[in-house]
Structure 1
Amino acid sequence: MSRVFGTLFVFVFVGFGVCFLGYGIYQVTLAQGTSQWPVVLGKIQKCKLRSHRNEDSTTYACDVAYTYEVNGTAYHGDRIAYGYNGTNNESFHKRVENRLKKSRYVQVHYNPSNPSESVLAAGLFRSTFLPVVFGTAWLAFCGGIASLTVFDGSIKRMPQRLTEVNQYSAKVLH
């Protein structure tokens, strides 16, 4: 029963790591593609620094809403960049907010295959890679735990091997 539970436990955690790593690779791929997207002029509709407090800390993020037009069709966007998420670095998010509030108009990068998909900051950023780094580290950790589960039987047999070594050593020494 404990062997089945251990194996199931490892598969669940490995599955979580694979999903997180897959999500990270997907985000990096999307962010990388935004550098090639066409640019149009957009208008800021809303820009506000949002804070969320929990028991341990406060996180901040800039909430933005903007409109833009592609081939005569109006679109609404709210993504600053792929990988942009709230953090506890209030000054960083205030700088983002101040930069967006400076001008009523911004450059909007839109996906030519799906013009409703857009970003204000195109390309890769350090934060874009966080899910990839976390997923990789998580899988390495799970690999270590899995190896303990796989090699559990050989660890349990170690005392027997020591006995065999002691019996052999006793014969050699006499």
Structure 2
Amino acid sequence: MMEGFFSNQGNLALLLTGLIGVVFTIYGTALFLKAEASLDWPTTRGEVMVSELDVDNDRDGVTFRAEICYRYVLPSGEYVSNRVFFGHQISTSSSVAAAKVKNRYRVGQSVAVHYDPANESESVLEPGVNGLVKVVLIIGTALMVIA
């Protein structure tokens, strides 16, 4: 009787692992495609309004994230965004990595803003695919393989 219970728990764990892998893979693929497309987006000038290092200290530990906020103006209106690169909103346990991003952008600095012509409120400062996007895809694929 207990043998079947543990077997079912193992199957459930594999199923959950696979589902998490699917979610990571779908999210990573969407991020990858958008990041790749951003290389062809038009650019305009913008200005950095906020450049801070966010520190979150909870029961899981300390995480860091560069909070960069910038504004840009197009004929259709004024926009505000906080995306530095695709995957930027992910926190990290490395204060050094987050500080490197923060230190690239000073308040008042003029920046090149790449914006989506189909949705001008969507923008990025550093277009293209970066390491974080690849990590999300690798994790998703690995979890699906394990399952």
* TM superposition score category, shorter chain reference: 0.7 to 0.9
Q: Which residue of 2 aligns with 1:61?
A: 65
Q: In structure 1, what is the Cα distance between the partners aligned to 2:133 and 2:13?
A: 29
Give the Å deviation of 1:70: 1.5
TM-score by length of 1: 0.73
The one of the two structures with greater contact order (alpha-carbon pairs below 8 A, sep at least 6) is 2
Q: In structure 1, what is the Cα distance between the partners aligned to 2:13 and 2:95?
A: 38
Residue 71 of structure 2 aligns with an amino acid whose one-letter code is T
Go from structure 1 to structure 2 and tell me whether the alpha carbon gap of 1:9 and 1:92 turns closer, same or farther (over 3 Å shift): closer
Q: Which residue of 2 aligns with 1:79?
A: 83
1:135 aligns with 2:147: no
Q: Which residue of 1 aligns with 2:22?
A: 18
Q: In structure 1, what is the Cα distance between the partners aligned to 2:96 and 2:112?
A: 23
For the residue of structure 2 that corresponds to 1:101, the secondary structure is: coil
For the residue of structure 1 that corresponds to 2:121, the secondary structure is: strand
- Is there any run of 5+ residues in structure 2 with no aligned partner, and where? none
Q: How many residues align?
A: 142
Residue 30 of structure 1 aligns with an amino acid whose one-letter code is K
Give the Å deviation of 1:139: 1.0
Give the Å deviation of 1:83: 1.6
Q: In structure 2, what is the Cα distance between the partners aligned to 1:94 and 1:16?
A: 30
TM-score by length of 2: 0.85
Matches within 5 A, 1:1-16: 2=5, 7-16=11-20
Q: Which residue of 2 aligns with 1:169?
A: none
Q: In structure 2, what is the Cα distance between the partners aligned to 1:22 and 1:102?
A: 35
CA RMSD of aligned residues (A): 2.0
Runs of 4+ in 1 over 4 A off after TM superposition: 1-9
Q: In structure 1, what is the Cα distance between the partners aligned to 2:68 and 2:112?
A: 13
Q: In structure 2, what is the Cα distance between the partners aligned to 1:135 and 1:55?
A: 25
Give the Å deviation of 1:6: 5.3
